[in-house]
Homo-oligomer: A and B are copies of this chain.
Amino acid sequence: MGSFFGNKVRISIFGESHGEGIGVVIDGLPAGEKIDFDELYAQMQRRSPGRDKTATPRKEADMPEILSGMVGDTLTGSPLCAVIRNTNTRSGDYGNILNSPRPAHSDYAAFVKYGGHNDIRGGGHFSGRLTANIVFAGAVARQILKRKGIDIAAHIYSIGNVSDTPFAPVGIPTDLVEKLNKSSFALVDESVESKMREAVETVRKNGDSIGGVVECIVQGVPAGFGDPMFGGVENIISSAVFGVPAVKGIEFGSGFSGSAMTGSQNNDEFYYDENGIVRTRTNNHGGALGGITSGMPIIFRAAMKPTPSISMEQKTVDLQTKENTVLSIKGRHDPCIVPRAVPVIESAAAIAVINLM
Protein backbone atom coordinates (compact mmCIF):
# COMPACT_ATOMS: atom_id res chain seq x y z
CA MET A 1 0.00 0.00 0.00
CA GLY A 2 1.99 2.98 -1.17
CA SER A 3 0.12 4.85 -3.88
CA PHE A 4 -0.63 7.83 -1.68
CA PHE A 5 1.45 10.77 -0.58
CA GLY A 6 1.24 13.60 1.89
CA ASN A 7 -0.04 14.58 5.26
CA LYS A 8 -1.52 18.01 4.65
CA VAL A 9 -2.57 17.64 1.03
CA ARG A 10 -3.07 13.93 0.54
CA ILE A 11 -2.76 12.41 -2.91
CA SER A 12 -4.13 8.97 -3.69
CA ILE A 13 -3.28 7.51 -7.09
CA PHE A 14 -5.00 4.61 -8.81
CA GLY A 15 -5.09 2.89 -12.16
CA GLU A 16 -3.40 0.38 -14.38
CA SER A 17 -2.05 0.93 -17.86
CA HIS A 18 -4.60 -1.29 -19.60
CA GLY A 19 -7.50 -1.14 -17.15
CA GLU A 20 -10.51 1.13 -17.53
CA GLY A 21 -8.73 4.25 -16.44
CA ILE A 22 -6.27 5.95 -14.15
CA GLY A 23 -6.76 8.84 -11.78
CA VAL A 24 -5.98 10.68 -8.62
CA VAL A 25 -7.81 11.93 -5.53
CA ILE A 26 -6.39 15.03 -3.87
CA ASP A 27 -7.69 15.77 -0.38
CA GLY A 28 -6.87 18.86 1.64
CA LEU A 29 -6.72 21.47 -1.11
CA PRO A 30 -7.77 24.95 -0.01
CA ALA A 31 -11.37 25.89 -0.90
CA GLY A 32 -11.81 28.88 -3.18
CA GLU A 33 -8.66 28.52 -5.26
CA LYS A 34 -9.26 28.79 -8.99
CA ILE A 35 -7.70 26.34 -11.44
CA ASP A 36 -6.67 27.42 -14.93
CA PHE A 37 -7.39 24.34 -17.00
CA ASP A 38 -5.57 25.51 -20.10
CA GLU A 39 -2.43 25.82 -18.05
CA LEU A 40 -3.14 22.46 -16.39
CA TYR A 41 -3.67 20.71 -19.72
CA ALA A 42 -0.51 22.32 -21.08
CA GLN A 43 1.45 20.71 -18.26
CA MET A 44 -0.13 17.35 -19.00
CA GLN A 45 0.75 17.70 -22.67
CA ARG A 46 4.41 18.19 -21.76
CA ARG A 47 4.39 14.68 -20.31
CA SER A 48 2.35 13.05 -23.09
CA PRO A 49 4.15 10.60 -25.33
CA GLY A 50 4.74 11.85 -28.86
CA ARG A 51 4.03 15.49 -28.06
CA ASP A 52 7.62 16.60 -27.99
CA LYS A 53 7.48 18.58 -31.25
CA THR A 54 3.99 19.96 -30.66
CA ALA A 55 3.72 23.63 -29.81
CA THR A 56 -0.02 23.94 -29.19
CA PRO A 57 -1.55 21.87 -26.44
CA ARG A 58 -4.49 19.90 -27.76
CA LYS A 59 -7.38 18.82 -25.58
CA GLU A 60 -8.05 15.26 -26.49
CA ALA A 61 -8.64 11.76 -25.27
CA ASP A 62 -5.85 11.78 -22.76
CA MET A 63 -7.24 14.73 -20.83
CA PRO A 64 -8.61 14.22 -17.33
CA GLU A 65 -12.24 14.41 -16.36
CA ILE A 66 -12.97 16.11 -13.04
CA LEU A 67 -15.42 14.03 -11.02
CA SER A 68 -15.50 16.02 -7.80
CA GLY A 69 -13.97 18.81 -5.79
CA MET A 70 -14.77 21.70 -8.12
CA VAL A 71 -17.70 23.92 -8.97
CA GLY A 72 -16.86 25.62 -12.24
CA ASP A 73 -13.18 26.46 -12.04
CA THR A 74 -13.07 26.78 -8.27
CA LEU A 75 -11.97 24.24 -5.66
CA THR A 76 -14.71 23.35 -3.20
CA GLY A 77 -12.37 22.08 -0.48
CA SER A 78 -13.70 18.54 -0.84
CA PRO A 79 -11.52 15.83 -2.41
CA LEU A 80 -10.67 16.60 -6.03
CA CYS A 81 -10.86 13.52 -8.24
CA ALA A 82 -9.63 13.43 -11.81
CA VAL A 83 -9.93 10.40 -14.07
CA ILE A 84 -8.26 9.67 -17.38
CA ARG A 85 -9.81 6.91 -19.47
CA ASN A 86 -7.62 4.32 -21.08
CA THR A 87 -8.92 4.45 -24.62
CA ASN A 88 -6.50 2.10 -26.27
CA THR A 89 -6.21 -0.93 -24.07
CA ARG A 90 -5.27 -3.52 -26.62
CA SER A 91 -2.38 -5.30 -25.09
CA GLY A 92 -0.10 -5.27 -28.11
CA ASP A 93 2.95 -7.47 -28.30
CA TYR A 94 3.98 -8.37 -24.82
CA GLY A 95 5.54 -11.54 -26.13
CA ASN A 96 6.17 -13.94 -23.32
CA ILE A 97 6.48 -11.35 -20.55
CA LEU A 98 3.69 -12.97 -18.57
CA ASN A 99 6.11 -15.72 -17.78
CA SER A 100 9.39 -14.00 -18.49
CA PRO A 101 10.04 -10.88 -16.45
CA ARG A 102 11.71 -8.07 -18.37
CA PRO A 103 15.10 -7.09 -16.96
CA ALA A 104 15.06 -3.82 -14.96
CA HIS A 105 11.25 -3.71 -15.00
CA SER A 106 9.05 -4.33 -11.96
CA ASP A 107 7.67 -7.54 -13.52
CA TYR A 108 9.51 -10.06 -11.35
CA ALA A 109 9.29 -8.15 -8.08
CA ALA A 110 5.58 -7.52 -8.66
CA PHE A 111 5.01 -11.17 -9.61
CA VAL A 112 6.37 -12.23 -6.23
CA LYS A 113 4.56 -9.50 -4.29
CA TYR A 114 1.14 -10.03 -5.84
CA GLY A 115 1.41 -13.76 -6.45
CA GLY A 116 0.94 -13.24 -10.15
CA HIS A 117 -2.42 -11.50 -9.73
CA ASN A 118 -1.22 -8.04 -10.71
CA ASP A 119 -2.27 -6.66 -14.08
CA ILE A 120 0.91 -7.06 -16.08
CA ARG A 121 -0.41 -5.55 -19.31
CA GLY A 122 1.62 -2.46 -20.11
CA GLY A 123 3.23 -2.61 -16.68
CA GLY A 124 -0.12 -2.29 -14.92
CA HIS A 125 0.05 0.00 -11.91
CA PHE A 126 3.81 0.40 -12.47
CA SER A 127 3.35 1.91 -15.93
CA GLY A 128 4.89 5.27 -16.70
CA ARG A 129 1.37 6.23 -17.72
CA LEU A 130 0.56 6.59 -14.02
CA THR A 131 2.83 9.65 -13.90
CA ALA A 132 0.02 11.54 -15.67
CA ASN A 133 -1.64 11.54 -12.24
CA ILE A 134 1.44 13.05 -10.65
CA VAL A 135 1.49 15.77 -13.30
CA PHE A 136 -2.20 16.48 -12.75
CA ALA A 137 -1.75 16.81 -8.99
CA GLY A 138 1.45 18.76 -9.45
CA ALA A 139 -0.15 21.17 -11.92
CA VAL A 140 -2.90 21.93 -9.41
CA ALA A 141 -0.38 22.36 -6.60
CA ARG A 142 1.85 24.59 -8.73
CA GLN A 143 -0.97 27.01 -9.49
CA ILE A 144 -1.67 27.37 -5.76
CA LEU A 145 2.03 27.72 -4.96
CA LYS A 146 2.55 30.28 -7.71
CA ARG A 147 0.03 32.58 -6.03
CA LYS A 148 2.29 32.43 -2.98
CA GLY A 149 5.23 33.49 -5.09
CA ILE A 150 6.71 30.03 -5.52
CA ASP A 151 8.07 28.95 -8.90
CA ILE A 152 9.14 25.46 -9.86
CA ALA A 153 11.20 24.71 -12.94
CA ALA A 154 13.32 21.82 -14.16
CA HIS A 155 15.49 21.07 -17.14
CA ILE A 156 17.31 18.19 -18.76
CA TYR A 157 20.58 18.41 -16.85
CA SER A 158 22.05 15.64 -18.94
CA ILE A 159 21.23 12.78 -21.29
CA GLY A 160 23.95 10.18 -21.37
CA ASN A 161 27.13 12.21 -21.42
CA VAL A 162 25.64 15.36 -22.96
CA SER A 163 25.01 18.09 -20.40
CA ASP A 164 23.01 21.29 -20.31
CA THR A 165 24.25 24.38 -18.44
CA PRO A 166 23.35 23.87 -14.77
CA PHE A 167 20.96 26.19 -12.95
CA ALA A 168 22.48 29.05 -11.00
CA PRO A 169 21.94 27.63 -7.50
CA VAL A 170 21.09 31.02 -5.97
CA GLY A 171 18.16 31.45 -8.34
CA ILE A 172 17.14 31.64 -11.98
CA PRO A 173 15.36 34.49 -13.77
CA THR A 174 11.59 34.49 -14.20
CA ASP A 175 11.74 34.37 -17.97
CA LEU A 176 13.80 31.19 -17.80
CA VAL A 177 11.20 29.69 -15.47
CA GLU A 178 8.51 30.58 -17.97
CA LYS A 179 10.40 29.27 -20.96
CA LEU A 180 11.12 25.96 -19.23
CA ASN A 181 7.55 25.60 -17.95
CA LYS A 182 6.31 25.65 -21.52
CA SER A 183 8.97 23.46 -23.07
CA SER A 184 8.71 19.80 -23.98
CA PHE A 185 12.50 19.54 -24.27
CA ALA A 186 13.49 21.81 -21.44
CA LEU A 187 16.99 23.20 -21.62
CA VAL A 188 18.78 26.24 -20.26
CA ASP A 189 21.09 26.22 -23.26
CA GLU A 190 19.06 25.21 -26.30
CA SER A 191 22.17 24.72 -28.36
CA VAL A 192 22.75 21.32 -26.72
CA GLU A 193 19.41 20.00 -27.95
CA SER A 194 20.79 18.66 -31.22
CA LYS A 195 23.59 16.79 -29.45
CA MET A 196 21.14 15.29 -26.99
CA ARG A 197 18.77 14.20 -29.75
CA GLU A 198 21.74 12.69 -31.54
CA ALA A 199 22.65 10.68 -28.46
CA VAL A 200 19.07 9.44 -28.24
CA GLU A 201 18.91 8.64 -31.95
CA THR A 202 22.09 6.59 -31.69
CA VAL A 203 20.70 4.28 -29.03
CA ARG A 204 17.30 4.16 -30.71
CA LYS A 205 18.84 2.75 -33.87
CA ASN A 206 20.32 -0.05 -31.81
CA GLY A 207 17.03 -0.79 -30.12
CA ASP A 208 18.68 0.47 -26.97
CA SER A 209 17.82 3.27 -24.52
CA ILE A 210 19.61 5.91 -22.49
CA GLY A 211 19.23 7.64 -19.12
CA GLY A 212 19.84 11.12 -17.82
CA VAL A 213 19.56 13.61 -14.99
CA VAL A 214 16.85 16.17 -14.32
CA GLU A 215 17.67 19.27 -12.29
CA CYS A 216 14.84 21.06 -10.50
CA ILE A 217 14.62 24.36 -8.65
CA VAL A 218 11.89 25.58 -6.32
CA GLN A 219 12.26 29.27 -5.61
CA GLY A 220 10.22 31.55 -3.40
CA VAL A 221 9.65 29.28 -0.42
CA PRO A 222 10.29 31.42 2.66
CA ALA A 223 12.63 30.29 5.43
CA GLY A 224 11.24 28.17 8.25
CA PHE A 225 9.28 25.36 6.59
CA GLY A 226 9.96 21.67 7.04
CA ASP A 227 10.50 19.67 10.19
CA PRO A 228 13.60 18.20 11.79
CA MET A 229 14.84 14.66 11.25
CA PHE A 230 12.31 12.71 9.18
CA GLY A 231 9.98 15.55 8.17
CA GLY A 232 12.50 17.75 6.43
CA VAL A 233 12.76 19.17 2.94
CA GLU A 234 15.05 16.40 1.69
CA ASN A 235 13.00 13.59 3.25
CA ILE A 236 9.70 14.81 1.83
CA ILE A 237 10.99 15.71 -1.61
CA SER A 238 12.95 12.48 -1.98
CA SER A 239 9.86 10.48 -0.92
CA ALA A 240 7.90 12.13 -3.70
CA VAL A 241 10.61 12.06 -6.37
CA PHE A 242 11.41 8.36 -5.86
CA GLY A 243 7.71 7.87 -6.69
CA VAL A 244 8.64 8.69 -10.29
CA PRO A 245 9.60 5.45 -12.06
CA ALA A 246 13.27 5.19 -13.12
CA VAL A 247 14.60 7.64 -10.53
CA LYS A 248 17.53 5.95 -8.77
CA GLY A 249 19.28 8.87 -7.09
CA ILE A 250 18.73 12.35 -5.74
CA GLU A 251 21.06 15.04 -4.46
CA PHE A 252 20.41 18.46 -2.98
CA GLY A 253 22.64 21.50 -3.44
CA SER A 254 26.24 20.45 -3.92
CA GLY A 255 25.19 16.85 -3.17
CA PHE A 256 27.72 14.16 -4.04
CA SER A 257 30.31 16.66 -5.21
CA GLY A 258 29.94 18.53 -1.92
CA SER A 259 31.01 15.38 -0.09
CA ALA A 260 34.47 15.81 -1.60
CA MET A 261 34.76 19.41 -0.43
CA THR A 262 36.02 20.97 2.77
CA GLY A 263 33.72 22.82 5.12
CA SER A 264 35.24 26.15 4.21
CA GLN A 265 34.42 25.45 0.56
CA ASN A 266 30.96 24.03 1.08
CA ASN A 267 29.57 26.22 3.88
CA ASP A 268 27.33 28.98 2.53
CA GLU A 269 27.93 32.28 4.28
CA PHE A 270 24.93 34.42 5.26
CA TYR A 271 24.37 38.08 4.45
CA TYR A 272 21.56 40.60 4.48
CA ASP A 273 20.53 41.51 0.98
CA GLU A 274 19.36 44.96 -0.09
CA ASN A 275 15.82 44.15 1.07
CA GLY A 276 16.95 43.12 4.53
CA ILE A 277 16.41 39.44 3.74
CA VAL A 278 18.94 36.90 5.01
CA ARG A 279 20.46 35.06 2.07
CA THR A 280 23.55 33.04 1.25
CA ARG A 281 25.98 34.00 -1.50
CA THR A 282 26.37 30.39 -2.60
CA ASN A 283 23.79 27.64 -2.31
CA ASN A 284 25.62 24.39 -1.67
CA HIS A 285 23.01 23.56 0.97
CA GLY A 286 20.32 23.52 -1.72
CA GLY A 287 17.79 25.51 0.26
CA ALA A 288 17.53 23.26 3.31
CA LEU A 289 19.45 23.41 6.60
CA GLY A 290 18.57 20.86 9.25
CA GLY A 291 15.70 19.85 6.98
CA ILE A 292 14.18 23.33 7.19
CA THR A 293 13.98 25.81 4.35
CA SER A 294 16.57 28.60 4.49
CA GLY A 295 14.74 30.92 2.12
CA MET A 296 17.23 30.14 -0.66
CA PRO A 297 15.99 28.13 -3.66
CA ILE A 298 15.52 24.42 -3.10
CA ILE A 299 17.63 22.78 -5.75
CA PHE A 300 18.04 19.09 -6.48
CA ARG A 301 19.03 16.68 -9.22
CA ALA A 302 17.33 13.34 -9.89
CA ALA A 303 19.20 10.54 -11.66
CA MET A 304 17.06 8.53 -14.06
CA LYS A 305 18.14 5.14 -15.26
CA PRO A 306 17.85 4.32 -18.97
CA THR A 307 14.37 3.11 -19.92
CA PRO A 308 14.38 -0.62 -19.24
CA SER A 309 12.36 -1.34 -22.41
CA ILE A 310 14.77 -2.18 -25.20
CA SER A 311 14.37 -4.20 -28.39
CA MET A 312 17.58 -6.13 -27.96
CA GLU A 313 17.57 -9.75 -26.91
CA GLN A 314 18.00 -10.14 -23.16
CA LYS A 315 18.49 -13.08 -20.84
CA THR A 316 15.81 -13.75 -18.27
CA VAL A 317 13.96 -16.60 -16.57
CA ASP A 318 10.80 -18.47 -17.37
CA LEU A 319 8.77 -18.46 -14.15
CA GLN A 320 6.66 -21.40 -15.33
CA THR A 321 9.33 -23.80 -16.50
CA LYS A 322 11.82 -22.46 -13.93
CA GLU A 323 14.49 -22.36 -16.58
CA ASN A 324 16.72 -19.65 -17.91
CA THR A 325 15.49 -18.23 -21.19
CA VAL A 326 15.83 -15.35 -23.61
CA LEU A 327 13.41 -12.48 -24.12
CA SER A 328 12.98 -10.35 -27.18
CA ILE A 329 10.32 -7.64 -27.39
CA LYS A 330 9.96 -6.04 -30.75
CA GLY A 331 8.12 -2.81 -31.37
CA ARG A 332 8.53 0.86 -30.77
CA HIS A 333 10.10 1.80 -27.46
CA ASP A 334 10.72 5.25 -26.12
CA PRO A 335 14.53 5.31 -26.08
CA CYS A 336 14.76 8.19 -23.59
CA ILE A 337 12.09 9.35 -21.17
CA VAL A 338 14.15 12.13 -19.63
CA PRO A 339 12.57 15.03 -21.60
CA ARG A 340 9.05 13.90 -20.66
CA ALA A 341 10.16 13.29 -17.08
CA VAL A 342 10.90 16.99 -16.59
CA PRO A 343 7.28 18.00 -15.82
CA VAL A 344 6.86 14.86 -13.72
CA ILE A 345 9.82 15.76 -11.50
CA GLU A 346 8.55 19.35 -11.23
CA SER A 347 5.18 17.95 -10.22
CA ALA A 348 6.63 15.60 -7.64
CA ALA A 349 8.46 18.60 -6.20
CA ALA A 350 5.21 20.56 -6.15
CA ILE A 351 3.24 17.93 -4.24
CA ALA A 352 6.12 17.66 -1.79
CA VAL A 353 6.40 21.42 -1.27
CA ILE A 354 2.66 21.95 -0.80
CA ASN A 355 2.92 19.39 2.00
CA LEU A 356 5.82 21.22 3.62
CA MET A 357 3.97 24.52 3.95
Contacts of A96 in B (CB 8 A): none
Contacts of A255 in B (CB 8 A): 248-249, 303
B19 close to A8 (CB less than 8 A): no
Residues 318-329 of A, flagged 1 when their CB comes within 8 A of B and 0 if not, give 010011100000
Q: B112, B232, B262: which contacts A223 (Cβ < 8 A)?
A: B112
Instruction: Verify if A14 is at the interface (C-beta below 8 Å from B).
Output: yes
Residues of chain A in range 11-50 having any CB-CB distance to chain B below 8 Å:
12-16, 19-23, 25, 27-28, 31-32
**A256–B265 alpha-carbon span in the complex (Å):** 23
Interface residues on A, range: 35 or more
A25 close to B27 (CB less than 8 A): no
A125 close to B78 (CB less than 8 A): yes
A25 close to B28 (CB less than 8 A): no
Contacts of A242 in B (CB 8 A): 230, 232, 234-235, 238, 291
Contacts of A9 in B (CB 8 A): 1
Instruction: Verify if A357 is at the interface (C-beta below 8 Å from B).
Output: no
**A208–B265 alpha-carbon span in the complex (Å):** 9
B234 close to A76 (CB less than 8 A): no
Contacts of A182 in B (CB 8 A): none
Closest Cβ of chain B: how far from A255's Cβ, in Å? Answer: 4
Residues 58-82 of A, flagged 1 when their CB comes within 8 A of B and 0 if not, give 0000000111111100111111110
A229 close to B104 (CB less than 8 A): no
Contacts of A342 in B (CB 8 A): none
A71 close to B208 (CB less than 8 A): no
Closest Cβ of chain B: how far from A177's Cβ, in Å? Answer: 24
